[in-house]
Amino acid sequence: MFPDLTQNVEKSLSKILGSVSHHLHPDIVKYIIESNIGFKEKFQQYSHKELNIHEFFFEGSDCIFPGVRRPVNRETSGSKWKNNIYKDGTILNDNTYPRHIWSFLVNGKPYSSSNWKITGLNSFELAHIFGHKTNETSLEKNSFLKFEENKNPYSLFTSSSNVVLIPKGLTKPTDKMESVKLCYYQRHIDLYGENFFHMTGFKKELVPEWYKDIRWIDPILPTNWNQKIDLLINYREQHLKLKYGGNQSSKAPSKVVKEDIQKNKLMTNGDINHSSTRFFVNENIYQKLIVNSRSNFILKVTPNKGKHPKGIYVIPNRVIVNYIESKRSDYNWVQNKTYNQDGVPKDLKEHFRYY
The model's pLDDT over 213-263, given as tens digits with 9 standing for 90+, comes to: 999 999 999 999 999 999 999 999 988 988 887 543 333 333 333 443 344
Task: Give me the pLDDT at residue 61, please.
Answer: 96
Instruction: Give the mean pLDDT of the chain.
Output: 88
Task: Give me the pLDDT at residue 246, please.
Answer: 57
Task: Give me the pLDDT at residue 79, please.
Answer: 64
153 near 134, Cβ under 8 Å?
A: yes
Alpha helices in the chain (DSSP H): 10-18, 26-46, 97-107, 113-118, 138-143, 172-176, 178-192, 225-244, 258-263, 283-291, 317-327, 331-336
Q: What is the mean pLDDT of residues 136-143?
A: 94
Task: Give me the pLDDT at residue 9, please.
Answer: 80
Rounded to whole angstroms, the Cα distance separating 201 from 231 reads 35
What residue type is 228 in one-letter code? K
Strand order in the sheet with 297-301: 272-276, 297-301, 311-315, 352-354
Share of the chain above pLDDT 70, in %: 92
The model's pLDDT over 86-120, given as tens digits with 9 standing for 90+, comes to: 999 999 998 899 999 999 999 999 998 888 999 99
In this prediction the pTM is 0.72
Rounded to whole angstroms, the Cα distance separating 233 from 65 reads 9
Task: Give me the pLDDT at residue 262, please.
Answer: 41
Q: What is the mean pLDDT of residues 135-151?
A: 94
Task: Give me the pLDDT at residue 252, please.
Answer: 37
pLDDT class of 38 with cuts at 50, 70, 90: very high
Contacts of 39 by beta carbon, 8 Å cutoff, 6+ apart: 57, 66, 233, 237
Contacts of 40 by beta carbon, 8 Å cutoff, 6+ apart: 53, 57
115 near 109, Cβ under 8 Å?
A: yes
Higher pLDDT among residues 350 and 53, named by residue: 53
The model's pLDDT over 254-312, given as tens digits with 9 standing for 90+, comes to: 333 344 334 433 444 578 999 999 999 999 999 888 888 778 999 999 998 888 988 89
